[in-house]
Structure formats: structure tokens, C-alpha cells
Structure 1
Amino acid sequence: MDAFYFLKSRTQFIRFFYAEGAKGFADVKHRIENELPPFDDRPYSEDSDPPYLSEWMDAETAREVLGIACISMLSDSLKLYFRMLEERVIRFSFENRKAAFRDGFVPAYFAALGEILDTDWSDCPVDRNLIEQVVLARNRGQHGEDITSFDVRYDKAMLEKHPRPFFIGDDEMSVLTSEEGSLASLLMPTLKVSADRLAKALDEVDVLAEWIEARIERARDWHLSRRPAQAAASRAE
């Protein structure tokens, strides 16, 4: 089973899905801002809001929801990739799965694959912090807290673990990292998956899979090194 091929197929689809979905929302905003049909007939209003503000905001919110959906697909794709390596490609298991996964599946699989591929990951160009944030963003995005808004916000635990969150707007990052800023005094920042940050996350996952694929032969050596111990354990039984 070619785990690398199927993961790449998924990341390519996510790129396509976001790009095509975002086009429609960007087009709505463009038409409103330039008074193009069907937004060329200004409705009568006595308030000071610009015309079609609600439709413009809906298009912007839809783009942000699309980003959250894509990061969720990326997280699930990564998890399926690791599981395929575990069950069908390398074929390994966790001695105590519950304990191994206590801090999440990313640290668990990195630890297991580090042993199997004989690496401490220092030679891997991937930002493991970002990989972990993909999963945290997915988990946060799946659980809404306020029925009045589609906004997804960081919580204190996430910011304590990642003081410089990746999926955040530049304006909120500036406030978060200012000298006056603190977790106690600030409204928790919004989790935003922009096009460029989604692209960066997708690239990191692709590079990780490419790096593992280039070293997958080391798994055979790992299996061979374990055979004497397994044979001794069988004789002891």
C-alpha cells in the first residue's frame, strides 16, 4: 500500500477544494465592492452601513469556515497516513497505546517513527510545531462555543503551549505579542486559516511524507534487529 501516494493525493485535493471554493466567496465580495450585478442596485436605507454589508460579511465568514474545513481534512489525512504506516506499510504497534497517545497522535507517531527510522528528527526539515498546530486547530475548529458566531478562538491551554500560534491574523498576533498583552487581559485571538497559511501547512505535511518515504527502507533494518528478541521471547513462553 503506497501511503505516500494517497497522502499526496489528499493534499492536492485540499488545495483544489480551497482554491475553487474561495473563488466564489471572493467573487461575491468583488461584486459588492465594485457595485456589479446583482449588487448594482443599491437598496434604500437610512442607516450608515454600506449596501450589502450582510452579504459581504457572509462571504468573508464562508471563506474562514472553508479554511477551518480544509485544516480539518489535512489533520485527518495526516492521521490516516500515520495509521497506514502503522498497520499496512511498516507494521508496528504501540506497547501501551493509551499512554503513547496521551499527548496526541502526532507526538506518539513521531516517537515511534523516530525509533523505527533511526532518527532524532534533527535532520528533518519539517516544523513539527506546525504539524502539531494543524491537529490542535482541527480539534478546536470542530467544537463551536458561541451560537452567535462562526468564529473559532484559541483557548488558554493552546496559547500556553504555542505562544506564537500559526493560524492567526497578523493584527491579532501583534496584539498578542505586545508588551502590554497577556493571556489574562486579552480576548482570546481568533483562529484563522488563511490561504497562505493553509498552503504552508500543506507543504509541511508533504515534506514530512517525502522525508519519511526516503527513509522507509530503514524500517526493514528495524524489523531485522527485533527478530532475535522476538525469538527469545517466543522460546521463553
Structure 2
Amino acid sequence: MDVAWFLNQRLDFIRQLYARSSAPFVERRTKIENEEEPFVPPYSEDPEPAFMVEWQEANDSIDVLGHACLCMLASALQAYLQTRVRLHCEELSPEDRKRVFRKGWVRGYDTIFTEAFKIPFADGPVPIAVLEDIVLTRNSIQHDLEITTNRPKHADRKPGAARSVFLDAREVELLDRLDPDAQTWLAPPMVHVSQASLEATINTVERFVAGLDAAIEERLYGPG
């Protein structure tokens, strides 16, 4: 089975899903910002911008679509790693699974590929922290539930952990201005999956899988 081929098919599906589904919301938001028909604001002395509700709805729709696509991306990566292990490795005992995956499935599969193939993820083209950012952000999207907003917050991360790439630029600017001690009592920043960060992350997963796939094939069948 060409596992990487199937993975890349899923990545291409996510790309087109986001591009085609987000287009009408992006267009609507742009028309509101540029005051184009049918969003030409009527005369009003109200300081509140016209069509604010419509703008926020379009913006939230783009965000939620990004969240869904990032969750699909994390699932596709997990399915690729799971399939590779199922094809080429002996099934782990319940005790071994608990040991291997106690620090999450990215670290768990890193352990498996290191022990079975002598291919640690650290030797590949993508840092483990980048892969974990995808998974941690996916977890935040799925588990941070608030009735008042469609935008989940990032779960607290371990001290010293790299900052997620899935942040709003305005929140990044605010965090950079703060004293590090002040950041500890602030609410966690919102998850923001932009078109740029989603596309870059899809490309990152593609690059990671290409490197890992080539290394596995070489271990199994020798240099091509």
C-alpha cells in the first residue's frame, strides 16, 4: 500500500475544501470592509459601523472552517502513522501502548519508529514541536467549549513550550508587549487558523511524511 499517496490525497482534499468553502465568506467580509453593494452603509449618526453583525458572522465562519480543516489535518497525519505501524510493526501489548503513548501520540509514534526502524523524528525535516502544535491546537478546538463564542482558546502549555503558530496577529503583538510575568494571569489566547497558517501547516505535514516515508522505504527495501 502506498500510504503516503493516500495521505497526500487527504491533504489535497483539505486544501480544496478550505479554498472553496471560505471564498464566499471572504468575499462578503471584503465587500463590507470596502462598503460595496449590497453593503453600502446608509447615513447614520450611530458610531457603530454598519453591517457589524454580518462582518462578524463571515469572520467567525472563516475561523470555524479553519478549525475544522486543522482537525482533519491532525486526523490524516495520525491515520498515516497508525497505518504505517499496522503494516510494518508487531502489535503492542496494552502495557507497551500505555508506556509508549503516555506523552501523546506524536511522541508515541516517534518512539515506535525509533525502536522499530531506527528513524527518530528528530532526524526528519520537521521539528517534533511543530507536529505537537497541530495536535495540541486540535485538542483545544475540540475540548475548549464556551457557549458565548465560536472561537476556542489555546489550552495552557508547559513552561518554555514554543508559541503556537495558530494565533491572531493582534494577540501576538499584545503578548509581545507584556512583561512575561503578566502573561501568566491573562486568559489564554484564542485559536486562529488563518489561510496562511493552514496552508503552511499542510505543506509541513506533507514534507514530514515525504521524509519519513523515504526513510522507511530505505530501511525496508534498501536504497532506491
**TM-score range relative to shorter protein:** 0.7 to 0.9
Partner of 2:151: 151
Deviation at residue 46 of structure 1 after TM alignment: 5.5
Matches for 1:2-41 after TM superposition, within 5 Å = 2-40=2-40
Q: Is the contact between residue 166 and residue 197 of structure 1 (CA under 8 Å) also seen in structure 2?
A: yes
Q: Is the contact between residue 117 and residue 218 of structure 1 (CA under 8 Å) also seen in structure 2?
A: no
1:70 aligns with 2:69: yes
**Separation of aligned partners in 2, 1:195 and 1:181:** 29
Identity of aligned residues (%): 31
**Separation of aligned partners in 2, 1:145 and 1:197:** 23
> Secondary structure, in 3 states, of the residue corresponding to 1:216?
helix
Instruction: Identify the match of residue 89 of structure 2 among 86, 91, 95.
Output: 91
Query: How many residues of Structure 1 are paired with residues of Structure 2 in the alignment?
Result: 218
Name stretches of at least 5 consecutive residues in structure 1 with no aligned partner: 222-237
Deviation at residue 177 of structure 1 after TM alignment: 3.8
Deviation at residue 9 of structure 1 after TM alignment: 0.5
Deviation at residue 218 of structure 1 after TM alignment: 4.6
What TM-score does the superposition give when structure 1 sets the normalisation length? Answer: 0.83
Partner of 1:58: 57
Deviation at residue 65 of structure 1 after TM alignment: 0.8
Q: Is the contact between residue 129 and residue 162 of structure 2 (CA under 8 Å) also seen in structure 1?
A: no
Residue-by-residue CA offset, 1:79-134 (whole Å, 9 max, x unaligned): 1111111113x233334112211111110001111223323444311122111110
> Secondary structure, in 3 states, of the residue corresponding to 1:217?
helix
Deviation at residue 220 of structure 1 after TM alignment: 3.3
Query: Which of 1 and 2 has greater Rg?
Result: 1
**Could you tell which deviates more after superposition, 190-199 or 44-53?**
44-53
**Separation of aligned partners in 1, 2:177 and 2:49:** 33
Residue-by-residue CA offset, 1:19-68 (whole Å, 9 max, x unaligned): 1122111110122223333323x457663211111000111111111111
Name stretches of at least 5 consecutive residues in structure 2 with no aligned partner: none
Q: Which amino acid aligns with 2:165?
A: F
Q: Is the contact between residue 127 and residue 204 of structure 1 (CA under 8 Å) also seen in structure 2?
A: no
Q: Which amino acid aligns with 1:94?
A: L
What TM-score does the superposition give when structure 2 sets the normalisation length? Answer: 0.88
Q: Which amino acid aligns with 1:12?
A: D
Partner of 1:142: 142
Partner of 2:123: 123
